[in-house]
């Protein structure tokens, strides 16, 4: 349907839904030229917000040379010392991966996720996260993502470079914006809020023995996936933090009461001996 629309639209006549709330996030990028190429791809598709999380290179002359029409995107790029800082203000984070299996078993093609991204981007910031050129996103990065995106490729040649991946996904977002209709997405809590909630919840579940140190990470991935599917608003996060707070209180109260009863029993035994 989208392709049919494009076939009959003269160049320059396409009206797009603004993609101002879509943020391309590059984590641990190693090559300056790739940053410039990504900026060019973004500019081609009407996306202007670029974030660099803990980059392993600097923006230099090569970056500017590769950026071409994306120079403004490059100049406006924001840099953060860590991924957690870079995504703190995002309300939805979509990770990208070229791998499968393990924590990457629940992935979707860009075209399938674009409507969800655009729905949320009408109201709030949505980050599209890309990993380093050599490793991609690691498991610790994936835990931050509500959705995972995988670009279908030929089995005989499945590897695509960073700028190509950004171009494909940006193109799908631009294409999807042509016929996008408001979907009434809820206003989600920022990742900074949800990450604080997950940390508090993990601490509480460890204290009552639901989680064990040796499997806590694996179980928390499952809990994150479960709650992430629901899409949490700030009020939802507040409720879950309240539950975690009560669990922590009850766990402390139980330990203190058990300690008190043991001491009383010891005193009673001594008294009986006397």
Residue 167's CATH number: 3.40.1280.10
Answer yes or no: do 158 and 94 share one domain.
yes
184 assigned to some structural domain = no
The number of domains in the chain is 2
Residues 203-250 pLDDT 10s = 999 988 899 988 888 899 889 988 988 889 999 999 999 999 998 888
Answer yes or no: do 216 and 132 share one domain.
no
Answer yes or no: do 142 and 256 share one domain.
no
Q: What is the pLDDT of residue 190?
A: 96
Q: What is the pLDDT of residue 260?
A: 47
244-248 long-range CB contacts below 8 Å, 24 or more apart? Answer: 244/197, 244/200, 244/201, 244/203, 244/204, 245/200, 245/204, 247/204, 247/205, 247/207, 247/208, 248/200, 248/203, 248/204, 248/207
Answer yes or no: do 113 and 195 share one domain.
no
Q: What is the pLDDT of residue 267?
A: 61
Q: What is the pLDDT of residue 214?
A: 87
SS percent in the chain: helix, strand, coil, step 5: 55, 10, 35
> The domain spanning residue 268 has which CATH number?
1.10.8.590
Asked which of 119, 145, 178 is the last residue of a domain, the reply is: 178
Q: Which domain holds residue 237?
A: 191-273
Q: What is the pLDDT of residue 98?
A: 84
183 assigned to some structural domain = no
Low-confidence stretches of the chain (pLDDT beneath 50): 1-2, 8, 11, 13, 260
Residue 212 in tokens: 């064990």
Q: What is the pLDDT of residue 145?
A: 94
Answer yes or no: do 26 and 83 share one domain.
yes
Answer yes or no: do 198 and 85 share one domain.
no
Q: What is the pLDDT of residue 18?
A: 77
Dmax (CA) of the chain: 101
Answer yes or no: do 130 and 21 share one domain.
yes
Q: What is the pLDDT of residue 248?
A: 85
Answer yes or no: do 107 and 165 share one domain.
yes
Answer yes or no: do 172 and 46 share one domain.
yes
87 assigned to some structural domain = yes
Answer yes or no: do 161 and 199 share one domain.
no
**Shortest CA distance to 91 belongs to which of 246, 232, 266, 263?**
232
Answer yes or no: do 51 and 155 share one domain.
yes
């Amino acid at each position: 349907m989208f392709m049919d629309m494009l076939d009959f639209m003269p160049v320059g006549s396409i009206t797009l839904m603004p993609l101002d709330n879509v943020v391309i996030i590059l984590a641990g990028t190693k090559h300056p030229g790739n940053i410039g190429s990504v900026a060019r791809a973004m500019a081609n598709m009407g996306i202007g917000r670029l974030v660099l999380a803990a980059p392993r290179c600097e923006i230099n002359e090569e970056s500017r040379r590769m950026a071409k029409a994306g120079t403004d995107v490059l100049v406006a790029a924001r840099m953060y010392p860590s991924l957690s800082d870079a995504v703190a203000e995002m309300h939805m984070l979509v990770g990208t991966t070229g791998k499968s299996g393990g924590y990457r078993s629940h992935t979707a093609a860009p075209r399938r996720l674009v409507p969800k991204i655009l729905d949320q981007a009408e109201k709030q910031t949505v980050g599209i996260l890309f990993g380093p050129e050599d490793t991609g996103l690691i498991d610790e990065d994936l835990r931050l993502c509500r959705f995972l995106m995988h670009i279908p490729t030929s089995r005989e040649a499945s590897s695509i470079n960073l700028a190509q991946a950004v171009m494909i996904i940006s193109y799908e977002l631009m294409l999807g914006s042509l016929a996008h209709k408001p979907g009434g997405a809820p206003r989600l809590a920022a990742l900074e809020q949800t990450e604080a909630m997950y940390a508090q919840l993990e601490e509480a579940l460890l204290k009552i023995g639901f989680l064990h140190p040796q499997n806590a990470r694996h179980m928390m991935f499952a809990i994150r996936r479960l709650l992430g599917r629901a899409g949490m608003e700030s009020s939802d996060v507040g409720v879950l933090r309240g539950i975690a707070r009560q669990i922590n209180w009850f766990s402390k109260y139980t330990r203190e009461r058990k300690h008190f009863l043991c001491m009383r029993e010891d005193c009673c035994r001594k008294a009986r001996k006397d």
